[in-house]
Amino acid sequence: MEIEEARRGESGHVVCGSWIRRPKKVNWAIIARASKRRGSSSPPLLNIFSFDPITTSLSSSPLAIHELKESDGDPVAISVHPGGDYFVCSTSKGGCKLFEIVGGAMCVTVLAKELPPLQNAGLQKCMAFSFDGSKLATGGVVRRHRELLYKDGCLRIMEWPNLTVILDEPKAHKSIRDMDFSLDSEFLATTSTDGSARIWKAEDGFPLSTLERSGDENIELCRFSKDGTKPFLFCAAQRGDVPVVNVYDISTWKKLGFKKLSRKSASTMAVSLDGKYIALGGKDGDISVAEVKTMEIYHYSKRLHLGQTIASLEFCPSERVMLTTSSEWGEMVTKLTVPKEWKEWQIYALLFCLFMASVVLAYVFFENSDSFWKLPMGKDQRRPKISLFGDSSTTPAEDHNKWNLDL
């Protein structure tokens, strides 16, 4: 059963959203809202909500609210550190802002911090933390202001948390569209609005490869596999009018094949934290979730964001739940209809039950072994009685006398 939640407040429209991992498998969600919606005026906000896995919904009221300054403009994108204590928000006017999450479930505060390398970096559409949280990458985009076109395809890679700049490449792309770190944080993949895709070494920013593509193919989105056994890179591409997902081997960066997972082109893509599922959010509001092992679709939500492009899409870190956002329909939390998995305590319980069943069967077999094998018994021969929990009906002295032992 699919449970979906839409929130359409009177404040500004939703720009993007992301999960925040907290201790003890607790998950929060951060939702960024722009300053205006349908002519009404309101300040840009960053709201943090708690998540209830039982009802598959976000809290009705936010745990924390942070209001951005007018000089910052509207939020554009958010990237949350894997540790769950920090997140970076890019803005339409003021570059990127760093925020720290302080407090617990009852009292949460969002504190603004300085981020000097990205304070005046311009519009950054793409941001990503490495899987181990040791690096932060950002990518600039082309923007238009007062009839002037500003080109910014600059790629920046920095160490975290000291913010030492590893790479500052202004000509990495014409305009960066998407990016993702590999599971071991060794590689960074980036895509451009011109349809190209490049691979970078995250440690020193060295360009390793440009992904191959056919003449009419445009690579748009990229995500690395995350299960630790299949070293693949998935790229959502447009081959003429046909949307496909290309699969690349990260040891050679050669294309292994492709699969069609959606009817229309994708606007965003995500891979679950355990690497078992890959999801595509469409420009028509649909989402498709496929199993990585078979590349077969297990969940499909048609017109989840009716007629709207899905702005952000992300798997919940500990549940089979998806967080999606769009400018018209806001944030939605969707429970995925995928096969249920065994939990750790269920596996141990099953093993214990199997062990106890084997003990009972062995005892029953022993008690009835003579009748089963039909072995002849002596005239005065008796079967010894064996108890699984010991026999307290005789004393040690009686046992010695029974066997004529002289102690």
Q: Please, which pLDDT band fits residue 146 given cuts at 50, 70 and 90?
A: very low
Q: What is the pLDDT of residues 7-33, one digit of tens each?
A: 444 456 899 999 999 998 899 999 999
* pLDDT score at 119: 84
* pLDDT score at 374: 56
* pLDDT score at 8: 43
Q: What is the mean pLDDT of residues 218-226?
A: 95
Q: What is the mean pLDDT of residues 396-406?
A: 52
CB 231 within 8 A of CB 251: yes
* pLDDT score at 142: 59
Name the more confident of 250 and 382. 250
Q: What is the mean pLDDT of residues 146-163?
A: 76
Q: What is the pLDDT of residues 298-350, one digit of tens each?
A: 999 998 998 899 999 999 999 999 999 999 999 999 999 887 665 566 667 77
Residue 211 has pLDDT above 50, yes or no: yes
* pLDDT score at 3: 40
Query: How many Å apart are CA 279 and CA 101, to the nearest integer?
Result: 28
* pLDDT score at 130: 97
Name the more confident of 356 and 402. 356
Highest mean pLDDT among 108-117, 128-137, 349-358 belongs to 128-137
Q: Please, which pLDDT band fits residue 149 given cuts at 50, 70 and 90?
A: very low
* pLDDT score at 319: 93
Q: Please, which pLDDT band fits residue 217 given cuts at 50, 70 and 90?
A: very high
Query: 43: buried, middle or exposed (CB in 10 Å: 19+, 13-18, 0-12)?
Result: middle
Name the more confident of 311 and 390. 311
Residue 1 has pLDDT above 50, yes or no: no
Q: What is the mean pLDDT of residues 225-244?
A: 90
Name the more confident of 114 and 88. 88
Q: Please, which pLDDT band fits residue 134 given cuts at 50, 70 and 90?
A: very high
- Tell me the average pLDDT of the chain: 84
Q: What is the mean pLDDT of residues 168-184?
A: 92
Residue 194 has pLDDT above 70, yes or no: yes
Q: What is the mean pLDDT of residues 180-200?
A: 95
* pLDDT score at 384: 58
Q: Of 26-35, 47-56, 64-73, 116-125, which gets the smallest average pLDDT?
A: 116-125
